[in-house]
Amino acid sequence: MRRKFLQTLMAGGLVAAGLGVAVAQAQAQGRSPMRFIVPYPAGGAADQITRLVAHAASQRLGTPIVIDNRGGAAGMIAAEATLRAEPDGNTFFVGSNAPMVINQAIYARMPYDPEKDFVPVVGMGKSPLLLVTRKDLGAKNVAELIALSKKPDVRFTMGSASSGNITHLAGEGASRVMGFRVTHVPFTGSAPAITSMLGNNVDIMYDALPSCMRQAKAGRIVPLAILDGKRFPQIPDVPTLTEAGYAGHDASAWFGVMARTGTPRAAVDALNKAVNEALKDPELIAKLNNIGAQPMPGSPEAFGRFIADERARWIPLAHLLGVKAD
């Protein structure tokens, strides 16, 4: 495992070096590289999915795509950075559950309007959430977790990728359905949250598969249930939350490309076409599946309808649960 981890780091270094060469070549040819601003740190689901899709799309566009990680404030820092850039088709925002949907429900004030300041370009990928616990918590399944929660003076700490992230809201909802409350501990992304769990600093987390599946398969954290209608092929022994007796609480982290309002439609359509072509590639589909994600192809309008449906589902739930930003 250590060898594989080192190989991954080396591969990342080679990709970064290759990207630097590609950017220099593009600039020498008078072309500006594109920039995807990701609202979470490197290593999490957003980063992994974006890098895979952006690399494949850039090959079809003939233009390098630079990944710019701007974690913090539930994606609002990255959103603001996107809005400061000119709407010329060179800078795009990686939208997800929190900055495009849930923030509207839990923040009294936001520095942008997700419905007016951005337009959808294309979906990239989504990943069901996985309920995991620290290794020594003492629960091997959902029933044991619930039993443990009923002991005197037990209140689980729950890590999340940020306040307002789907790992926060879906975690609050699912925990309450199972009959226990949690103390929310927000981080600046899934990667640091899982690192904290490995250090026994948080008890449970409802995390997207790309951030936690490798650790779960290695036995470093304990997977209890997947929040989806069916088991995920890469972790077939992990039951769904429905199988554990709690149906109707599926939740996924999703990621797609957004453009600042005013971006030329031609630029939106060109990027949409490149990403959709990439998402049909069996090699990319396999890479996404292997990290725990599924492709989200479609038109800008289809992606816009998907986001509208997400708002209709999650904003009322946030109000019902009384979830607010920490």
For 259-282, what is the mean pLDDT?
Answer: 98
Residue 27: pLDDT over 80: no
Match 């959902």 to its residue by tokens.
142
299 vs 30, higher pLDDT: 299
**Tens-digit pLDDT profile for residues 99-139:** 999 999 999 899 999 999 999 999 999 999 999 999 999 99
pLDDT attached to residue 223 = 98
Residue 87: pLDDT over 60: yes
Residue 254 CA to residue 307 CA, distance in Å, equals: 10
Residue 227 CA to residue 77 CA, distance in Å, equals: 29
pLDDT attached to residue 126 = 97
Name the most confidently modeled range: 9-13, 42-46, 188-192, 224-228: 224-228
Residue 23: pLDDT over 70: no
Contacts of 59 (CB under 8 A, 6+ apart): 278
Residue 301: pLDDT over 50: yes
pLDDT attached to residue 162 = 87
Distances (CA, A) of 14 to 8, 10, 19, 69: 10, 6, 8, 18
What percentage of the chain has pLDDT greater than the value 90?
Answer: 83
What is the chain's Cα-based Rg? 19
Q: What is the pTM for the complete model shown? A: 0.86
> Which CATH number is associated with domain 128-227?
3.40.190.10
Superfamily of domain 2-126+254-321: Bordetella uptake gene, domain 1 (3.40.190.150)
**Strand, coil or helix: 62:** coil
Residue 248 CA to residue 271 CA, distance in Å, equals: 35
Match 């990439």 to its residue by tokens.
278
**Tens-digit pLDDT profile for residues 127-173:** 999 999 999 999 999 999 999 999 999 999 999 998 888 999 999 99
Per DSSP, what are the bridge partners of residue 252?
128
Domain boundaries, the chain: 2-126+254-321, 128-227
Q: Are 116 and 100 in contact (CB under 8 A)?
A: no
DSSP state of 240: B
**Tens-digit pLDDT profile for residues 208-223:** 999 999 999 999 999 9
pLDDT attached to residue 325 = 81
pLDDT attached to residue 163 = 85
**Any idea which of 23-37, 153-167, 255-269 has the lowest mean pLDDT?**
23-37
For 285-307, what is the mean pLDDT?
Answer: 97
Neighbours of 5 (CB within 10 A): 10
